[in-house]
A = this chain, B = another copy of it.
Amino acid sequence: MTQVDHTRMANAIRGLAMDAVEKANSGHPGLPMGAADIATVLFTKFLKFDAADTAWPDRDRFVLSAGHGSMLLYSLLYLTGNKDMTLDQLKHFRQLGSLTPGHPENFHTKGIETTTGPLGQGIATAVGMALAEKMLAAEFGKKIVNHHTYVLASDGDLMEGISQEAIALAGVWRLNKMIVLYDDNGISIDGPTSISDSVDQVKRFKSAGWAAELIDGHDPQAIAAAITRAQKSNKPSMIACKTTIGYGAPHKAGTAKAHGEALGADELKAAKEKLGISLEPFSVPDDVLKAWREAGARGAAEHKAWDEQFAQLGSRKRAEFERRIRHERPQSLAKGLRAFKKGLLENPLNVATRKSSEAAIEVIAAAMPMEFVAGSADLTGSNNNKAKSATAFGAKTPKGRFIHYGVREHGMAACLNGIFLHGGFAPNGATFLVFTDYARGAMRLSALMGTGVVYVMTHDSIGLGEDGPTHQPVEHLSALRAMPNMRVFRPCDAVETAECWELALNRVDGPTVLALTRQNLPQLRTTAPNDNPCSHGAYELVAAQGDAKVSLFASGSEVQIAVEAQKQLAGRGIATRVVSVPSLELLLAQPAERQNAIIGNAPVKIAIEAAVRWGWDAVIGHDGEFIGMHGFGASAPAKDLFPHFGITAEAVVNAATKRV
């Protein structure tokens, strides 16, 4: 083991970070310089990882919640010997195509656990990872699953509201293997944090059930001692590490000037001289690099030991673990859902889609009882996503697979990302569709990272009724459809709901929103072909008798209105077809030929959706008729609201006859 002084090890990070930001003339040198001591202690003495295998399931997770300090992470990856992270990559920091983008992107660079940058997301995602660790350990045993989740968080992370949701959850769940290292540098972009903050973070974390203490973040002994104490705690731990941002920069250290821009040639030179770092850009002394590489290889023995333990598991258990980590679904899932759909055709289920979703969930949970992890932001009885067999997860019930998130939509969404990224589970979380507004920060990261999480969003329109416009989504379908890689399904009945659940669970490279009704709906589907018609986003549900004069497009609860209107129009001799559109954006992503075939060429096109028109013109044209919402909803029983807002079969018939 090469013996190198701690400070020289830490200064290697500082030097690389300064150089990379300087070369890019863009980036954040302050955090890597300030947190280098913390990271050095963590990565050389505590973090269980094997640089040669970033996918080792039992590695400790390290989350750089303060994603702007990405050069800290890239430096660590390079120094510890990550194969992909060459010096050349560091030299191309923040350049097109490099593995070193402005903020860490897990979908782009191996060795990065989650994408961070939007503050607060890292710490909240880490809660999901620590939760997944606890759940998986309860199932497969501590010999197979036994790792820590470390987070480096900044002042900004702890200002974001999502951080409160996250720490409250970690506290009540007693996620004692989660350790937050708070880079307590007292500086944010606008200046000293005192201009906008007076929170005592140690007291705050303690109030949420954490162990918390304040230490000198530049004292390696103090850092090591605090991490050791944290590892022994029966609570999650927060270590407030008092640091100096831009540590070592003679004029900018301790100020906002060190935060988010290159130091400049003079300050960089002065900093390097002060720290005793070579002025040669991107140079790391041989002995220091050697010591770092040894730290990176440190986990290889543990990894090997783990492999041996894993080999001792029964072959079925091993296969199950590996399948789960790969996010592969069990064969029993497709089989179960096929039988379920067949049953629906025999015994139609004329209930709200949140209820047909509940029925589908019974089938899904039977196929994957320990991996299907559902949860709700305090609307369990309304969201209907709890399988009968599911029990509540809790500090003392780690085998529970239903999570009560409390009223914390944003924290829930970030947890879902963390659970998925950890591996081993197919997580879904539920609330009312309107509250996707609260969760959107994390939902966007689901889409960007491509996590296969499912958002069970019930009460998906004015059909929610009496709770009124604050609770009635009107623009949310559109706003979610606009998000790249987000799939929105709004099934019209029990059969479509089962089909959409199947598509959602098999989508492991991106998130899915299931928008479900509060109110009852008739089962409209009379077939359930194996090729899953929802997979193209839309399909002809009712053909016209003869050449169609009118095409009706609708989703969810409005498909029944389209079907009723079709009958009335047919009665008047107007040949009309109905296209069910469970996923508008998926329809619009189909090849032109298929799109055209589904959309058809009836001269009159009418879309019906109890939501805003935004986006629908792609199907019906700007001169098409739209029967839907033109503003916010209102508080009243749902049966009064649909006529009040003119969303009825009669309105459709009138619009159609006017145009034919």
A residues with CB within 8 A of B: 24, 26-27, 67-68, 94-98, 101-103, 105, 115-120, 155-157, 159-165, 168-169, 171-172, 188-191, 193-201, 203-204, 206-209, 376, 378-382, 392, 394, 404-408, 410-411, 434-435, 437-438, 440-441, 444-445, 447-448, 465-471, 474-475, 478-479, 481-485, 585, 612, 614-615, 617-619, 621-622, 629-632, 634-637, 640-641, 644
Contact = CB atoms under 8 A, between A and B. Distances in A.
A450 to B, nearest CB: 10
Nearest to A26: B466
Contacts of A196: 169, 172, 378, 404-406, 408
A632 B448 contact: yes
A634 B404 contact: no
Contacts of A465: 26
Contacts of A165: 159-161
Contact of A209 (B161, B199, B585, B637): B199
**A155, A165, A437, A612 — most chain B CB neighbours (10 Å):** A437
Nearest to A395: B198
A189 B467 contact: no
Contact of A615 (B120, B614, B630): B614
Contacts of A637: 26, 94-96
Contacts of A407: 119-120, 155-157, 159-160, 188
A381 B189 contact: yes
A644 B67 CA distance: 24
A468 B445 CA distance: 13
A644 B96 contact: yes
Contacts of A200: 207-208
A161 B159 contact: no
A45 B622 CA distance: 59
Contacts of A26: 465-466, 637
19 contacts: A24-B466, A96-B641, A96-B644, A105-B469, A116-B470, A118-B471, A159-B168, A159-B408, A161-B164, A161-B165, A196-B378, A198-B208, A203-B206, A207-B207, A448-B632, A479-B479, A484-B631, A485-B632, A614-B614
A479 B3 CA distance: 55
Contacts of A189: 378-382
Given A95-B640, A190-B376, A437-B444, 4 more contacts: A26-B637, A163-B164, A172-B196, A198-B209
A470 B406 contact: no
A196 B402 CA distance: 12
A186 to B, nearest CB: 12
Contact of A636 (B96, B120, B469, B484): B96
Nearest to A404: B196
Nearest to A636: B96
Contact of A195 (B382, B404, B618): B404
Nearest to A410: B161
A476 to B, nearest CB: 8
Contact of A160 (B380, B438, B448): B438
Nearest to A203: B207
Contacts of A203: 203, 206-207
Contacts of A169: 196
Contacts of A445: 470
A330 to B, nearest CB: 29
Nearest to A618: B617
B188 A406 contact: yes
A484 to B, nearest CB: 4
Nearest to A585: B614
A167 to B, nearest CB: 9
Contact of A411 (B161, B199, B206, B209): B161
A646 to B, nearest CB: 14
The 7 closest A-B pairs by CB, nearest first: A161-B161, A101-B635, A196-B406, A117-B470, A164-B164, A96-B636, A203-B207
B406 A115 contact: no
B102 A406 contact: no
Contacts of A467: 68, 102-103, 117
A475 B411 CA distance: 22
Contacts of A194: 172
A618 to B, nearest CB: 4
A255 to B, nearest CB: 13
A382 B405 CA distance: 35
A188 B101 contact: no
A392 B392 CA distance: 48
Contacts of A411: 161
A644 B381 CA distance: 48
A401 to B, nearest CB: 15
